[in-house]
Amino acid sequence: MSAPEPKTPPKRDHKWSAMNRRELLKISPVLLLGAFAFEKFQKPLLDAGVDFSDWATDKLFRGHHLAPTFADSELTPLEKFPYNGYDVIEPEFDLDAWTLTVAGAVDKPGEYTLAQIKALPKINQNTRHVCVEGWDVIGNYGGTRISDLLAAVGADTKLKFVSFECADDYYESIDMASALHPQSLLCYEMYGKPLDRGHGAPLRLQVPTKLGYKQAKYITKLEVTNVLQAGKNGYWEDQGYSWFAGM
């Protein structure tokens, strides 16, 4: 009688284990995303992400591609158009004494009155105003093209930026290509009436290829420049919003 055959003990498959380890190691690069979990790396990584987004969307911007325009029947009623001031809705300053200071790389720097600005060709357009929060309104805007004003003051449009200062300490800056866009306005009228204080009297930006926080109100100074000083890029941008903010 033969003894029952001994059961073979489970053997480890070393080749299989080695292959598993190799394959596991191969997907380890995905752990690099874990860097986002460390506060030390988080800010520089997210800053790089926003900078890359701004770079990419600057490349995406087409100077002659127009923002959609709308029929008068599609306008948001003026009384429902929100006043979205960051601080004070009606900054204290003398409207009658107001002038626009034009500075930087221009042939004719100095103080410009509203009458001088209104003497430039007037554009009237119904465009969408989109807030970074996600809401939007369709407004009617009247004003002069930024490009016409830049031409009138002899600006060097090869420079990179146009920056703005406001009566309420808000400040903004936009890229030259967006400033020269045919729908980019220095706006002094909404719905056929002079701007009211809440909407930025006497002069505001209306650049329909940019988000709402770029549409500076109560503009007091315009500068053509190649350098944006740190902390002078824009009120919200300096707190972490995207600078290009193009739509």
Give the interface with another protein as residue ranges (CB under 8 A): 8-13, 15-16, 19-20, 23-24, 26-27, 29-30, 33, 36, 45-50, 52-53, 57, 60-62, 65, 67-68, 76-77, 80-82, 128, 130-138, 208-209, 236, 239-242, 246-247
Least Cβ distance, residue 139 to another protein (angstroms): 11
The answer to whether 144 and 123 have CB atoms below 8 angstroms apart is: yes
Least Cβ distance, residue 41 to another protein (angstroms): 12
Cβ nearer to another protein, comparing 30 with 97: 30
**Of 139, 173, 179, 134, which Cα lies nearest the Cα of 156?**
179
Residue 26: beta bridge partners? Answer: none
Least Cβ distance, residue 27 to another protein (angstroms): 5
Least Cβ distance, residue 1 to another protein (angstroms): 26
* Residue matched to tokens 């007037």: 122
CA 232/CA 214 separation, integer angstroms: 13
CA 154/CA 108 separation, integer angstroms: 6
Least Cβ distance, residue 167 to another protein (angstroms): 24
The answer to whether 195 and 189 have CB atoms below 8 angstroms apart is: yes
Cβ nearer to another protein, comparing 19 with 119: 19
* Residue 44 to residues 102, 212, 241, 242, Cα–Cα distance (Å): 35, 26, 14, 14
Least Cβ distance, residue 73 to another protein (angstroms): 14
Least Cβ distance, residue 191 to another protein (angstroms): 14
What strands, in cross-sheet order, belong to the sheet with 219-225? 110-112, 100-104, 219-225, 161-166, 171-175
Q: Annotate 77-106 with b (16+ C-beta within 10 A) or e (fewer).
A: eeeebeebbeeeeebeeeeeebebebebeb
Residue 164: beta bridge partners? Answer: 172, 222
CA 206/CA 66 separation, integer angstroms: 14
